[in-house]
Chain A
Amino acid sequence: MHSIKRAKAWDAVAITIVAIMAVLSLMPLYWMVVTAITPPTLVMKLPPDLIPKNPTLRNFQDLFTRKLLGRWTLNSAIVSVTVTFAQLAVASLAGYAFAKKQFFAKNILFWLYVGSMMVPGQVTLIPRYILMARMKLPNTYAGLILPAVAAPLGVFLMKQFMQSIPGEIIDAGRIDGASEIGVFTRLVVPLAKPAMAVLGIFTFVGEWNDFLWPLVITNSSEMRTLQVGLSTLQEEVPMAFGTLMAGATFAAIPITIVFLIFQRYFLKGLTVGALKG
């Protein structure tokens, strides 16, 4: 009894610490939103007001008068959604193969995947662009989408996760007469849902926030993604700070939504039943 009480007290302390850390890491986000809804005359105040006085949507109105904002958002949505679903499909298949299947030179191939992430993008950018220029892909959706779908990170993630799916479940499925594809879609995918949800979030966010590649591969305002478009805004001489923060806040909304949608799939308890079976 006593020890349970003490454990509870410890838990309370620990949660308080975590809460403080959470507040700390929320600070820049909070500052961004506050600046976005602060009337223009108060922005850039150092230190900023903790609670904004006279909140306003003027910065957002400024933002929405930008002609191409809708187009940029649409481009980002098309690219991010396509990449996310394609990456989920491709990476879960390959991750499954790496984790549970046998084939020639599997280990070497796996290390090629992992190793290729270790060469910094600043260097591979040039050959990749030259390659895509020869394929006439600059300024197309394909040029934006294909390299991101090919990214090896997702395969690595899925492989690591699928390794811990018990082999007996898969064998049991086979004994029940399911085809290989059946085993994958009806047994492996449901078990891998948490990992797929994580990969979905990571891919969507990574793609939505990507800056350098969309800048390099697109050549017209109409093909820009939201982040590239917003950053012209941020760099306009001079910088419009409130509008910039409104833009950043606007760009963060889809990320938040996607996060909330996907995170349901990895809350405790969802997969336990399946694994027990």
Chain B
Amino acid sequence: MYSAMRALRRDRWGYAFILPSFVLFSLFYLVPVVWSGYLSLLEYGVFSRTWVGLANYVEAINDRIFRLAIRNTILYTLGLVPLWLAKALIVSALIFPLSKPIQTFFKGAFYLPHVTSSVITSMVWLWIYNPPFGLLNYFMEVLGLSPHAWLGDVRTALPAIIFMQVVMGGGSSIVMITAAMGSIPEHLYEAAYLDGATKTQAFFKVTIPLLRPTLLYLLVTGTISSFQVFTNVYMMTHGGPQFSTATLVYLIYDTAFKQFNFGLASAQAVVLFAMVFTLALVQFKFLGQEVEY
């Protein structure tokens, strides 16, 4: 009892610093999240709430389309997140040594398009992928290749959406990485060069290790956001062809708002949560060691 009080007293500044955030977070984030978890155990109607235990989970898992959506979402994440990160790292490394105005230009060029509404980006890319009259097939023909129905073929629809996201995305990662690079102390590089390291070696020996917390953040949030992909799929393919781009949140949207089945939708969301959470644990294990220098 006494030692608990002492610990409380010792850590009082920790509590004080966390308190404003914790109050807001609990009320507006944690409560809805826990509430959603609770809904997954109910048959949830406007005037009736029936406890059904794990029935919604059984129904979700037994649904072929749901399992397909899990597969698609994992493929999408595996395809997208590494490419996003690689693009962001390479671009950041290349533009970081440049002069300030040029650096600003590039950061703007990569970041600002990424914030235009996905409605507009979807429209542009629908035009690019249009089978008879689109830009991509125009180039295919110029190169002497036969045109292809990019979004109409089960084999290419998901890769086409990933490709579009790679080209359009990664802007915030570039901003984030360059910002973190800016706070790496110069003397660490000086020391490395004195030891005879080349630029590339310095990048891998100094930059990457010191970027680890940032990279972890980008990896985790990138995984979370790609697991929740919705608007582009909704706008561009409606989950088709033949469910090849049906992703989890696309399905959850359908279950909740088209079929009005919130219990089932919540169960689907909890399954999604469990998968991302597991992935994040792994990511933290490999990248999460405290970095101090």
Contact = CB atoms under 8 A, between A and B. Distances in A.
B18 A270 contact: no
Interface-centre pick from B111, B182, B216 (highest chain A CB count, 10 A): B182
Given A96-B17, A160-B217, A205-B115, A131 B32 contact: yes
Q: Give the interface size bracket for A toward B.
A: 35 or more
B11 A161 contact: no
Contacts of B25: 113, 116, 150, 152, 155
Given A94-B21, A127-B36, A260-B108, A47 B182 contact: no
A64 to B, nearest CB: 20
A191 B185 CA distance: 12
A161 B213 contact: yes
B15 to A, nearest CB: 6
Interface-centre pick from A89, A155, A267 (highest chain B CB count, 10 A): A267
A167 interface: yes
B20 A28 contact: no
Contacts of A90: 20-21, 24
A147 interface: yes
Interface string B247-269: 01100110011000010011001
B31 A131 contact: yes
Given A122-B253, A269-B182, A116 B18 contact: no
A28 B112 CA distance: 10
A26 B113 contact: yes
A114 interface: yes
Interface-centre pick from A115, A151, A167, A275 (highest chain B CB count, 10 A): A115
B18 A93 contact: yes
Given A22-B109, A123-B269, A195-B179, A146 B28 contact: yes
A263 B13 CA distance: 31
B252 A160 contact: no
Interface in A188-239: 191, 194-195, 197-198, 201-202, 205, 209, 211, 227, 231, 234
Interface in B69-116: 87, 90-91, 94-98, 100, 103-104, 106-116
Contact of B120 (A32, A109, A255): A32
Q: Give the interface size bracket for B toward A.
A: 35 or more
A94 B18 contact: yes
B293 interface: yes
B21 A248 contact: no
Given A24-B167, A150-B24, A276-B187, A117 B95 contact: no
Nearest to B169: A25
29 contacts: A7-B199, A14-B94, A25-B168, A25-B171, A90-B20, A90-B21, A101-B18, A117-B221, A117-B224, A119-B269, A122-B230, A122-B253, A122-B265, A123-B36, A123-B265, A126-B39, A128-B32, A150-B25, A161-B180, A163-B291, A191-B183, A194-B182, A197-B179, A201-B111, A245-B120, A255-B112, A256-B112, A265-B179, A267-B100
Interface of B: 7-8, 10-11, 13-18, 20-22, 24-25, 27-33, 35-37, 39, 87, 90-91, 94-98, 100, 103-104, 106-117, 119-121, 124, 127, 133, 135, 167-168, 171-172, 175-176, 178-183, 185-187, 199, 210, 213-214, 216-217, 220-221, 224, 227-228, 230, 248-249, 252-253, 256-257, 262, 265-266, 269-270, 272-273, 276-277, 280, 290-293
